Amino acid sequence: MKNYTACHPILEKKLYIFDMDGTIYLGNQVFDFAIRFIKHLRESGRRVLFFTNNASHTSDFYLEKLTRLGFEPAREEIMTSGDVTIEFLKHHRAGKSVYLVGTDELFDEFRARGISLVTEDAEACDIVVTSFDTSLTYEKLNAACRFVRGGAEYLSTHPDFNCPTEHGFIPDSGAIAAFVTASTGKTPIYFGKPYRETVDMIEEAYGISKADTCIFGDRLYTDIALGKKHGVCSILVLTGETTAADVEKADACDRPDYVFPSLAEVDTLLEEIENGI
């Protein structure tokens, strides 16, 4: 773990990306220090983006949640892996029929943004997309596997195996994809963190280079990997899935640039540097 006084470079960035679950809150348990830190960033002229791989909800849901929790977000400050997947489908698979394993909320978002969706009783489809589906049924899984075996391209919104909550971990999108893969032998193309489509979409939307961007998160294989693979400064906080022991066990190339117990310590660092302490 690096000494905080060596972390000045993270405070020279222009865009600060924040994972949500495990980084700024757990379920409905908000981290007050995260609210303070993000407020300080905005007051100093830095830009903020809330990005979550959790596509069981839409950006509008997160706008309401983040507002309720006290983060005062703007709509353009929120992005999900579902948004990245939809943009990919619109630009690279236009007009293709899609079977979606996802929540009703995600289903409505796909349809509202022009994706042609089929139901599980369809004979075939062009593409299967699986996501974090808290309304998952065996019928949905069976249909997804049937379509993939029939030749449908297989995509997944994000690779997270577990979603952290205030009551512990629950199975996430990666676990659902593992079921389909085990049954069909087909591995999906993943979106969200840590994949390049996400970095490219953020860079295009904000007009800020990767060199001027950093990401805060609680997972090595998504949040931190996004930074390590694509030239974005990566900062791990130990308030979610990853422990200090996990960092020590990871290969050197997979370790974050910096590690903090929480965003509280990063906020303290920002205040000390800007106050000349």
Please list, in sequence order, all residues whose beta carbon lies within 8 angstroms of the beta carbon of residue 272, skipping any fewer than 6 positions away: none
Residue 165 sits at φ, ψ, to 5 deg, of -135, 175
In this predicted model, what pLDDT tens digit does every residue of 91-123 receive, in sequence order? Answer: 999 999 999 999 999 999 999 999 999 999 999
Region at 72 (left for phi over 0; alpha for psi -120 to 50; beta for the rest): left
- Cβ count within 10 A of residue 121: 7
Confirm if 34 and 40 have CB atoms less than 8 A apart. Answer: no
- Cβ count within 10 A of residue 93: 16
- Cβ count within 10 A of residue 137: 11
In this predicted model, what pLDDT tens digit does every residue of 27-69 receive, in sequence order? Answer: 788 999 999 999 999 999 999 999 999 999 999 999 999 999 9
Beta strands in 45-181 (DSSP E): 47-52, 78-80, 97-101, 116-117, 127-130, 153-156, 162-165, 168-171
Tell me if residue 34 falls in helix, strand or coil: helix
* Secondary element (H or E) of residue 189: strand 189-190
pTM of the model: 0.87
From first to last of its 277 residues, what are the pLDDT tens digits of the chain? 444 444 478 989 999 999 998 999 987 889 999 999 999 999 999 999 999 999 999 999 999 999 999 999 999 999 999 999 999 999 999 999 999 999 999 999 999 999 999 999 999 999 999 999 999 999 999 999 999 999 999 999 999 998 877 788 899 999 999 999 999 999 999 999 999 999 999 999 999 999 999 999 999 999 999 999 999 999 999 999 899 999 999 999 999 999 999 999 999 988 887 776 5
Give me the amino acid identity at 176. Answer: I
Cis before 194? omega within 30? yes
